[in-house]
Structure 1
Amino acid sequence: MNQRTFALIAVSIATLIYGVTYTIAKDVMPNYIKPYGFILLRVSSATLIFWTAGLFIKQQKIEKSDYKKILIASFFGITINMLAFFKGLSLTSPISASVMMVTSPIMVLIFSSILIRKPIGKQRVLGVFIGLVGALFLITLGNSSTANSTNSAFGNFLVFLNAASYGLYLVLAKDLVKKYNPIVFIKWLYLFGLIFVIPFGYSELTAVIWEEIPTNIYWNISFVLLFTTCITYLFNLYGLSKLKPTTVSVFIYLQPVIATIYALIVGSDSLNLIQLCATLLIFFGVYLVTKQVEKSTK
C-alpha cells in the first residue's frame, strides 16, 4: 500500500474512535467528572505521553518563528476545540453533537478562503449557506430527548464552535505537520494547550471523588485518554501530512453515522425528526462544498 492509502486508513480509524467517543464521554460527564476537569485530565495525560514518546525519536529543532504558529494552532486545535466540545456534549445528546461536527468541512473552506485566499465558487457559497442553515436549525430547534441533556441549544452551539475551531486548526496546522515530525509537533501542541486549559479545569478536576467512580466509567475515561486523545491526533496528523485538509475533514461525514448507530445500540440516545432534517441540510451543504473542491483540483 502507498502512503496515501495508509493515510486514508489512519483517518478512518480516527473517525471510528471519534464516533463512539460521543457516547463514551457522555457517560462520564457531568455525573462523575465535569467537562473542563475531564479536558485538563485529557490534555495533561496526552502531554505526558507525547513528551515521553519524544525521548525515543530523533530530536528536531523548532524554528523560533514557528513557536508562535504552534501556539495559535494549539489555542484553536486543543483549547477551544476540546473545551467547547466536552462542555457542549455534556449539555446536549451524542447524536446532535455528532451531526453538528459535520459542519467542519464548511469551516475549513471558509478559513481556507480567508487565510490562504482560496477562491470560493457559487456552488460552494450555496453549500456553505445550506450547511450553516442546517446547523442553525439544529441549534435552535434540536432539543434532545435524552434526560441528561440539560441545555441542548447551548450545547449544540458549543459543538458548532468546536467544529469551527477544529476547521481553523486543520488549516493552520497543514504546513507545520509537513515540516516537523508528528511527535515533535504534537508534544509542543499539547504543552501549549495544557497551559491554556489549566485555569479552566483545575477546580473541576480537584473536585472529582475518584473512589465513587464505577469500574466501567474508569474504562470510559481510559478510552478517551488513550484513544480519543492520543491515537486520533496522531492518525489525523499523519493523514493531514499526506492528504488535503478538506479530504481529512470530509471523514467527519462518517461520525454521525457511527455515533448514531452506537448510541442507539447502547440506548444512550434516540433519533428525532429535527435531527434528521438538520442532518440532511448539513450533509447536502458539505456535499456541495467538497464536490466543487474536487472539480477545482482536477
Structure 2
Amino acid sequence: MSNKNVIPAHLALFGANLIYGLNYILAKDVMPNFVGPSGFIFLRVGGALLLFWLFASLFRTGEKVDKKDFPRLIICALFGVAGNQLLFFEGLNITTPINASIIMVSNPILVLIMASIILKNAIKPKKVLGIGLGITGAVLLILFRSRGGELTFSSETAFGDLLVFLNAACFGIYLVLVKPLMEKYKPITVVKWAFLFGFLFVIPFGFGQFTEINWSEMPTKIYLEILYVVVGTTFLAYLFNNFALKRVQPTVVSIYIYSQPLIASVFSLLLGKDEITWIKILSAILIFFGVYLVSRPDVRKT
C-alpha cells in the first residue's frame, strides 16, 4: 500500500490515541462515584450506537452486509465492544490503575500472535523488536509517572488483573477478526453493526446500574466528562481505529497503545501537573522508534 494511503491511517490512529490519552485526565471522576462500571458501559455503548447509526443515515453511508458476514460481526461485537469494555472497567474497579496500565501493554503482543494464527501474518523480527521497544518505553513512563502509586500484583488485585488481561486479549481478538470485514466494507458499516450487537450483549450487565444513576445530583463537570467519553473515547476513537484498520495491519493499530501514557504525560506537562525528565524523553524515543519499526512496510526483494 502506498504512503499516501497509509498516512491518513496513522493520523487517524494518532487522533484515536490522543482521545484515549486525554481520557485518563478528563474522565476519571465519573466512576464509581456517579455511575457504576457496567452502567457506564451501557451508557457509552448505547450513546455511541445512536451516533453511529445517525452518522450513517445523515451521510447515506449505508451498504448491505452479506448474511454470511453477520456471525463474524456478532463475534467482533462480543469481543471488541461488550467483552473488552465490561472486563476493563470491572477489572479497574478491583485492581489499581498502574497495574491495569502495565497489563494493557500486552495487547500488541497478543495481536501479533493472533494475527499470525488467524490471518497467517508472518512474525517479523523487526516487529518483535518494535513491540519490545514500545513496551519498555511505556512501562518506564507508567512507573515513573506513578511514583505516588503502587505496583502491587497480589491476591487482592489478582482477579482485577485477570479481568484487565482478558480485556486486552478480547480487543486483540477483535482487531484481528475485524480486519477482513474492514477490507470488504466501509468502517462505519462495520462499527454500527458491531455496536448494535454489542449493545445487546451489554444490556443484561449494565441496565440495572444505568437505572440507578442519580442525574439530578450530577455536577456539570461530570456531564461533560460523560459526553467526552461517549462522543470522543467511544464514537470517534472507534471510528478512527476502524478507518485505520482498513489501511494497515492490526499490529500497527495495536502498538499505538504505547503512545497513550506519553500523550497523558504531555497534557499533564501542559497543565502544569508534571515535569520533563530524562526518563520521559527516553520513553518517548523508545515508543516512537517502536511504532516506526512495527508500521514500516516490508521491503520486497526483486
Which category describes the TM-score, using the shorter chain as reference length? 0.7 to 0.9
| 1:188 match | 193
Query: Residues 263 and 209 (structure 1 numbering): CA distance in 2 closer, same or farther, change over 3 Å?
Result: farther
CA distance in 1, matches of 2:252, 2:129: 19
CA distance in 1, matches of 2:259, 2:82: 24
CA distance in 1, matches of 2:147, 2:159: 11
Deviates more, 1:155-164 or 1:71-80: 155-164
Deviations 1:91-135 (A, max 9, x none): 445454334322211010111122133344788789999999xx9
CA distance in 2, matches of 1:252, 1:129: 13
Identity %: 44
**Corresponding position: 1:202 with 2:204:** no
**Corresponding position: 1:53 with 2:58:** no
Which amino acid in 2 is paired with 1:7?
A
| 2:141 match | none
**Corresponding position: 1:167 with 2:138:** no
Deviates more, 1:258-267 or 1:102-111: 258-267
CA distance in 2, matches of 1:6, 1:131: 22
**Shift, 1:242, TM fit:** 1.0
CA distance in 2, matches of 1:10, 1:130: 22
Q: Report if aligned partners of 2:251, 2:294 keep a CA contact under 8 Å in 1.
A: no
Aligned residue runs from structure 1 range 66-105, under 5 A: 66-105=69-108
Q: Report if aligned partners of 2:79, 2:174 keep a CA contact under 8 Å in 1.
A: yes
Q: Report if aligned partners of 2:129, 2:293 keep a CA contact under 8 Å in 1.
A: no
**Corresponding position: 1:64 with 2:88:** no
CA distance in 2, matches of 1:193, 1:22: 24
CA distance in 2, matches of 1:23, 1:113: 35
Deviates more, 1:190-199 or 1:252-261: 252-261
Query: Residues 229 and 268 (structure 1 numbering): CA distance in 2 closer, same or farther, change over 3 Å?
Result: farther
What's the C-alpha RMSD, in Å, of the aligned pairs? 4.0
CA distance in 2, matches of 1:67, 1:257: 37
Which amino acid in 1 is paired with 2:63?
Q
| 2:232 match | 227
CA distance in 1, matches of 2:207, 2:122: 43
Deviations 1:141-172 (A, max 9, x none): xx99569x9x6554343222222111111100
* Counterpart selection for 2:9 from 7, 10, 26: 7
Which amino acid in 2 is paired with 1:105?
P
Query: Residues 235 and 58 (structure 1 numbering): CA distance in 2 closer, same or farther, change over 3 Å?
Result: closer
Which amino acid in 1 is paired with 2:114?
F
Q: Report if aligned partners of 2:61, 2:188 keep a CA contact under 8 Å in 1.
A: no
Paired residue secondary structure (1:242): coil
Q: Structure 2 stretches of 5 or more lacking a match?
A: 139-145
**Shift, 1:59, TM fit:** 3.1
Which amino acid in 2 is paired with 1:90?
N
Which amino acid in 2 is paired with 1:170?
L
| 1:40 match | 42
| 2:142 match | none
Q: Structure 1 stretches of 5 or more lacking a match?
A: 136-142, 270-275
TM-score by length of 2: 0.78
User: Which of the pair is proportionally richer in helix?
Assistant: 1
Deviations 1:45-92 (A, max 9, x none): 111111122223143110011000100011110011111122233344
Paired residue secondary structure (1:26): coil
CA distance in 2, matches of 1:3, 1:222: 32
Q: Report if aligned partners of 1:11, 1:236 keep a CA contact under 8 Å in 2.
A: yes
**Shift, 1:227, TM fit:** 0.4
* Counterpart selection for 1:243 from 245, 248, 272: 248
CA distance in 2, matches of 1:185, 1:106: 25
Deviations 1:190-221 (A, max 9, x none): 00000000000011110111111111111110
TM-score by length of 1: 0.79
* Counterpart selection for 1:17 from 16, 19, 39: 19
Paired residue secondary structure (1:88): helix
Deviates more, 1:241-250 or 1:154-163: 154-163
CA distance in 2, matches of 1:104, 1:179: 25
